[in-house]
């Protein structure tokens, strides 16, 4: 250990000890998987089927990505194919009566407009999710932004 690192060791150890003391209820936390031991995997839960053809869903907060109002199971989205764009790309959206991909999805991270979907926006289901009738995993009291009610 270098001579310059030694003076930092004491305050670092004190800070770490303080973190351990600051979380007295840490032993009372319960995981979403319940009391299942970590060395055993529970049977995977089946995700509820999406609500089918619900039309455009209202948004709950500003900048919320639109929800997908239809089934996407089996859609091919990989490095070579994006089946979402067969309907939602600018070329086909009008013919398919589908919303067009936002112009923001054609911008690079540097703000340049590209001729095709930006690589950082290519995998649609990272942000756009199908709506389901599933119950929330945890209780919450979320209410939409006032201007969207």
Look at residue 59 in the predicted model and tell me its pLDDT: 81
Residue 89: Cβ-neighbour burial (10 angstroms; 0-12, 13-18, 19+): middle
Rounded Cα gap, residues 47 and 52, in angstroms: 14
Residues 6+ apart with CB under 8 A from 68: 50, 125, 128, 129, 130, 131
What are the boundaries of each domain within the chain?
Answer: 49-133
Task: Supply the DSSP symbol for 22.
Answer: H
Rounded Cα gap, residues 95 and 99, in angstroms: 11
49-133 belongs to CATH 3.40.50.1100? no
- The stretch 34-40 carries a mean pLDDT of 69
Q: Which has the minimum average pLDDT: 9-13, 23-27, 86-90?
A: 23-27
Q: Is 63 annotated as a binding residue?
A: no
- The stretch 48-66 carries a mean pLDDT of 76
Does residue 87 contact residue 93 with C-beta atoms inside 8 Å? yes
Higher-scoring residue by pLDDT: 65, 133: 65
Q: Is 96 annotated as a binding residue?
A: no
Q: Is 124 annotated as a binding residue?
A: yes
Look at residue 51 in the predicted model and tell me its pLDDT: 64
Q: Is 115 annotated as a binding residue?
A: no
- The stretch 50-68 carries a mean pLDDT of 78
Pick the closest to residue 72 from 83, 62, 64 (CA basis). Answer: 83
Pick the closest to residue 122 from 84, 67, 70 (CA basis). Answer: 84
Q: Is 117 annotated as a binding residue?
A: no
Q: For residue range 102-146, what is the model confidence (pLDDT) as tens digits?
A: 999 999 999 999 999 999 999 999 999 887 777 777 888 888 877
User: Whose structure tokens read 């999406």?
Assistant: 50
Q: Is the pLDDT of residue 78 over 80?
A: yes
pTM of the model: 0.59
């Amino acid at each position: 250990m270098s001579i310059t690192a030694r003076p930092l060791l004491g305050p670092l150890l004190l800070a770490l000890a303080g973190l351990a003391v600051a979380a007295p209820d840490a032993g009372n936390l319960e995981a979403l998987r319940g009391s299942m031991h970590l060395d055993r995997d529970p049977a995977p839960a089946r995700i509820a089927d999406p609500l089918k053809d619900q039309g455009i869903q209202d948004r709950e907060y500003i900048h919320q990505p639109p929800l997908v109002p239809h089934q996407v199971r089996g859609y091919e989205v990989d490095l070579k194919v994006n089946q979402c764009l067969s309907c939602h790309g600018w070329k086909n959206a009008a013919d398919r009566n589908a919303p067009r991909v936002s112009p923001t999805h054609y911008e690079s991270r540097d703000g340049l407009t590209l001729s095709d979907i930006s690589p950082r926006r290519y995998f649609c289901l990272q942000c756009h999710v199908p709506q389901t009738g599933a119950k929330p995993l945890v209780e919450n009291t979320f209410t939409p932004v006032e201007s969207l009610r």
